[in-house]
């Protein structure tokens, strides 16, 4: 069922087709001619005749054979031949020119779904030209006596001479190709694309890319017309009998006209090449951008799904893990004397594994929040020394298993404005790292101080296994861990490589820097961070 919108589209296309045909009709009568003295001394071919076919061809290439036929007939696009020719010449030529327009429109419709194949118009022209040549060498040749040459009425041959027919066939074939090439170039003009709504079918959508391509095309066309204008000014010296207007357009000498058209065609051709080049580059960029956006969306969906699953699993595991750890600690506190050595070892294994699992789940949650950008600082006034002492107290059991002693130097209290929970994560990671990477009966020394620059400095120095230069360069990278000799604590508590990565991120979020120093293997290491925290009285 035809809708109101469909009828409006049909009316618009009908009107534009008729207008384009009328433009073609008027151009054909414009007095722009070129003499071919070498072939026909007394014949002048109207050059405007070729330009007149651009408009019906543009319609038929864009909207198909029906609208092309409207432009060629109702719009009179192909009908000016009735005025130029008479007799059988017009009778046999005009229908074929009209059929030529319709044929290309029909072929364009059939190839609309395979628009990536750029040469379908030339295939259509080849097929039509073969049929047309067959017609010319048969019926048209014997109709010659019905149409005496207008420049020589005395010629009344029964059939057209083969020499003349061969020249006519060659001329028509060249004219057809030239018209197609110019029509395809004509369709690349942005305002023509907009009138014919071809820009809606064009994948070249970027405004910046289209602007560059359009500017390139227009500049080359303007350069061509600038040459035409300059050449006209120069020709005034050589043709004093002609006025500027006549030399510019109305009575351009054949040699000058040929040169100007060639130069204009070269500039136009270069402009089309530039337009196509920018179009192709922009289309490739658009496709690459679309592919990249599609892949980014897919990766975000995968990342969100992964984070959701990890967050859900972490939450579901953390609750029972805390309960198990709490129960194990209660058993160790109140029932330790009633357990034999084997039971104590089992209880100790449960406690260590649960603590390790809890720390692992916490680190997973921190990593997810960091990568998703959901890890904001919540600054408040707090005592950095108290936070450090709380961390030491929480790691006391781990330190006792490794016979590790921890000392702290600094003021009794240091009130600063920081995120206490996140700084506690940093200190816990550094203290735990020192305990796990130090042989039994080792020591760690913590130092806290406020500097005159307004920064707060925290450092922890151990007597552990130390670090090589390569390890120092990679130690804060995500998921990096190193092989270490076994100790009573690191035998079961394997490193994930997340702790120092999280600590470094938190320190940077506070505007600070986390450093590591080591003299080498088995020479201990020192971790130090400075943050521009505001000390409070």
pLDDT of residue 116: 46
Q: What confidence category does residue 71 fall into, taking pLDDT thresholds of 50, 70 and 90?
A: confident
Q: Which SS3 state, helix, strand or coil, does residue 155 take?
A: coil
pLDDT at 117 exceeding the cut of 50: no
Co-location of 390 and 338 in the same domain: no
Looking at the fold, whether 190 and 219 belong to one and the same domain comes out as no
Q: What is the CATH classification number for the domain harbouring 524?
A: 3.30.565.10
- In the numeric block, which tokens belong to residue 229? 């204008």
| 211 CB neighbour count, 10 Å cutoff | 12
> Which helix (H) or strand (E) segment is 225 a member of?
helix 207-235
Confidence of residue 436 (pLDDT cuts 50, 70, 90): confident
Residues 182, 60 share a domain: yes
Are 397 and 454 contained in the same domain?
Answer: yes
Query: Are 416 and 456 found together in one domain?
Result: yes
Same domain flag for 180 and 215 = no
Residue 36 has pLDDT above 50, yes or no: no
pLDDT of residue 525: 93
156 against 225, higher pLDDT: 225
Query: What percent of the chain clears pLDDT 90, i.e. is strictly above it?
Result: 11
Given 375, 400, 435, which residue is the final one in a domain?
375
The pLDDT tens digits for 466-496 are 888 888 888 888 767 776 666 655 555 456 6
Q: Which residue has the higher pLDDT, 4 or 117?
A: 4
- In this prediction, residue 152 carries a pLDDT of 53
Strand 456-462, strand 525-531: pairing? antiparallel
Q: Which of 85, 162, 161, 100 is nearest to 130 (CA)?
A: 100
In whole angstroms, what is the distance from residue 28 CA to residue 33 CA?
10
Average pLDDT over residues 244-261: 76
Least confident stretch, 117-121, 325-329, 509-513: 117-121
Query: What pLDDT is recorded for position 273?
Result: 79
How far apart are alpha carbons 107 and 124 in whole angstroms? 6
Measured distance CA(161)–CA(170) in Å, rounded: 14
Q: How confident is the model at residue 146 (pLDDT cuts 50, 70, 90)?
A: low
Which pTM does this prediction carry?
0.46
- Choose the final residue of a domain: 157, 178, 201: 201
Query: Domain check: are 282 and 182 in the same one?
Result: no
Quote the number of domains for the chain: 3
Report the pLDDT value the prediction gives residue 259, as an integer from 0 to 100.
81
Question: pLDDT for 488-517, tens place per residue?
Answer: 555 554 566 788 888 999 999 999 999 999
pLDDT value at residue 485 = 66
457 Cα distance to chain centroid: 47
194 and 222 part of one domain: no
pLDDT tens sequence across 285-302: 778 888 888 888 888 888
Q: Same domain for 234 and 252?
A: yes
Q: What is the pLDDT of residue 1?
A: 52
pLDDT for 529 beyond 90: yes
Is the pLDDT assigned to residue 423 strictly greater than 70? Answer: yes
How far is 326 from 331, CA to CA, in rounded Å?
9
Last residue of a domain, one of 201, 233, 248: 201
Q: Report the alpha-carbon angle 447-389-528, nearest 5.
A: 30
CATH number at residue 6: 1.10.1760
Q: In this structure, are 402 and 360 located in the same domain?
A: no
Q: If pLDDT is split at 50, 70 and 90, which confidence band does 155 have?
A: low
Residue 383 dihedral angles phi and psi, to the nearest 5°: -100, 115
The 10s digit of each residue's pLDDT in 374-404 is 778 888 899 999 999 999 998 888 888 888 9
Same structural domain, 122 and 171: yes
Q: Are residues 160 and 211 in the same domain?
A: no
Answer whether 460's CB lies under 8 Å from 526's CB.
yes
- Residue 530 is predicted with a pLDDT of 92
* pLDDT band, residue 234 (cuts 50/70/90): confident
The alpha carbon torsion through 100, 104, 109, 111 (nearest 10 deg) reads: 150
Rg (CA), the chain: 44
Least confident of 201-205, 365-369, 403-407: 201-205
Maximum Cα–Cα distance for the chain, whole Å? 138
> Which residues constitute the domain of residue 123?
1-201
């Amino acid at each position: 069922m035809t809708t109101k919108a469909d009828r409006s589209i049909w009316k618009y296309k009908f009107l534009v087709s008729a207008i384009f045909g009328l433009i073609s009709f008027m151009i054909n009568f414009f007095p722009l001619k070129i003499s071919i003295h070498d072939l026909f001394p007394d014949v002048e071919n109207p050059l405007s005749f070729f330009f007149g076919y651009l408009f019906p061809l543009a319609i038929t290439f864009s909207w198909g054979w029906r609208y092309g036929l409207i432009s060629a007939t109702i719009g009179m696009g192909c009908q000016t031949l009735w005025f130029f020719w008479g007799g059988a010449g017009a009778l046999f030529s005009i229908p074929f020119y009209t059929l030529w327009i319709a044929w290309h429109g029909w072929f364009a419709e059939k190839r609309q779904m395979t628009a990536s194949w750029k040469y379908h118009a030339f295939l259509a022209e080849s097929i039509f030209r073969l049929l047309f040549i067959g017609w010319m060498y048969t019926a048209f040749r014997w109709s010659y006596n019905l149409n005496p040459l207008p420049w020589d009425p005395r010629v009344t041959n029964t059939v057209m001479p083969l020499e003349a027919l061969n020249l006519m066939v060659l001329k028509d074939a060249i004219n057809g190709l030239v018209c197609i090439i110019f029509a395809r170039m004509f369709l690349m003009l942005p305002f023509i694309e907009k009138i014919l709504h071809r820009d809606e079918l064009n994948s070249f959508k970027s405004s910046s890319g289209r602007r560059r391509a359009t500017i390139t095309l227009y500049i080359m066309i303007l350069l061509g017309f600038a040459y035409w204008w300059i050449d006209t000014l120069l020709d005034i010296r050589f043709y004093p009998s002609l006025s500027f207007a006549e030399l510019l357009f109305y009575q351009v000498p054949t040699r000058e006209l040929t040169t100007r058209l060639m130069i204009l065609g070269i500039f136009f051709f270069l402009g089309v090449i530039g337009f196509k080049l920018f179009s192709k580059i922009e289309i490739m960029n658009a496709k690459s951008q679309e592919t990249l956006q599609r892949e980014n969306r897919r990766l975000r969906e995968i990342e969100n799904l992964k984070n959701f699953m990890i967050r859900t699993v972490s939450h579901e595991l953390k609750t029972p893990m805390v309960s198990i750890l709490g129960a194990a600690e209660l058993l160790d506190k109140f029932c330790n004397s009633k357990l034999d050595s084997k039971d104590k070892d089992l209880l100790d294994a449960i406690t260590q594994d649960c603590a390790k699992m809890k720390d692992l789940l916490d680190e997973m949650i921190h990593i997810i929040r960091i990568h998703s950008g959901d890890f904001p600082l919540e600054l408040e006034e707090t005592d950095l020394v108290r936070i450090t002492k709380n961390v030491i107290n929480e790691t006391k059991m781990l330190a006792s298993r490794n016979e590790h002693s921890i000392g702290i130097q600094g003021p009794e209290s240091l009130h600063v404005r920081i995120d206490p929970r996140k700084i506690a994560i940093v200190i816990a990671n550094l203290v735990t790292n020192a305990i796990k990477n130090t042989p039994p009966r080792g020591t760690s020394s913590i130092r806290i101080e406020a500097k005159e620059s307004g920064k707060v400095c925290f450092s922890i120095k151990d007597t552990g296994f130390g670090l090589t230069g390569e390890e120092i360069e990679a130690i804060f990278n995500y998921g990096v861990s190193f092989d270490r000799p076994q100790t009573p604590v690191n035998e079961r508590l394997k490193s994930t490589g997340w702790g120092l990565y999280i600590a470094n991120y938190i320190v940077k979020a506070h505007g600070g820097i986390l450093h590591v120093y080591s003299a080498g293997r088995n020479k201990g290491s020192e971790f130090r961070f400075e943050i521009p925290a505001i000390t409070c009285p």
